Structure 1
Amino acid sequence: MTATEAQTPECQICGTKQRSELRRAMIVRPAVSKIIQQKSGNWDENGWICMDDLQQYQHLYVQSLLEEEKGELTELDKEVIEGLRKHEILAANPDIDFDKNLTLGQRLADNIASFGGSWKFIIIFGLFIAAWMGINIAAIFAKPFDPYPFILLNLVLSTLAAIQAPVIMMSQNRQEERDRQRAIYDYKVNLKAELEIRQLHQKVDHLLSKQWERLVEIQEIQMELINELREKK
């Protein structure tokens, strides 16, 4: 048992002695250990570290990793790093948050655009035009309200097209904004998953390396014991 192990376990960084919050320093990956050594100047792999300090330095490591690969961090990158530190779930449905902020006019524009781009609208509008023309042609000898060539009908169609076009454009702009929100959510989730997987690989490699070192030490001790037994015989 080393001198460090014989003492009461405490965090090397903040000095906390809550055993439930402490972890062995040997499980910390070398890249994170290097940052701890640079920031605190005191690091012993045989010592202990609390979860709060460990998460803080892991946060600094991820931040430095992204800065090294991408240069200056964006606000999205900072949100992902913060979510990674707090173990937050970033996956969400952006449509729910987006639809909550829609005004009555925006909802009405979306419904009009949805209806105007359906077969139901085409059929109803086709029947309306046919009825309009049929009534005026049938009543040609009784002073129809819109005789051929249907000038009033052309005015109605032009007005409808002039109103419908900006409504559809407003709906399309919101659809583009919704797509951007989805892309942002996808980027944040993918970046967090990539960082989590990278940290997991590094941690597994570090643990395997430490386990191999321990096995080598045990094997050396066993060989020494075997040699002593042979010498005694």
Structure 2
Amino acid sequence: MGGEPQPILRAVSVSRVFGQGEGAVHALRNANLAIPRGRLVALKGRSGSGKTTLLNLLATLDAPTSGHVFYDGRDVQAMTDGARDELRRTEIGLIFQSFGLVPFMSAYENVEFSQRIAGVTPAARRKENALQALEFVGLKPRMHHRPQEMSGGEQQRTAIARAIAHRPKVLLADEPTAELDTKMGFQIIKVFRDLVEQEGISIVMTTHDPAIMDVVDNVYALEDGEIVEQQGER
């Protein structure tokens, strides 16, 4: 008999300290969490609680001062820099609070260009990936519009399309609804739920919006760099 499926992401006794001596800042203290496969997980907390620091560690964008992060059972700290770069390029999608779109490019060009930077070949595959991603987030009819011609919600959906075009296993999003009104914010959460339920992607998002807690599967609450509460499975 098999046990529970292995978490796609796991943090074990992870701490992150910036600076040294009396000026050291403990951004994260002894954090432990497991991200199940095919779930929408929220890291909640006020500004400065450590949630973005934890997200960056899970994304392999930063390394813990102590402890370990495991991706699909592999110790990220034991990987070479090249292996971590390859992991981000092929299996992880990233979404940031600022949409980060190239202003003079259309939605389609933004999504296709990100794949070109990642080395996706040939061009026909980049085109197919971009069109499928834009269709999934409901933006295919608007794909020739530039960011300034789109609403905030449409810009964020373009950023999501860019992050999922290479079909990652994990999507990590830092405050993805912070710049949006409530209606647009829930449009983004619906896209996330569709990605989880239809594509089996595991999504971890940071937020301080209490309304979002009702629509995610698991919640980790952070205060002063520590995980103080865990809720789930919903």
Question: Would the TM-score normalized by the shorter structure come out above 0.5?
Answer: no
TM-score (norm 2): 0.23
More helix by share: 1
Structure number, greater radius of gyration: 1
Between 1 and 2, higher relative CO (CA 8 Å, sep ≥ 6) is seen in 2
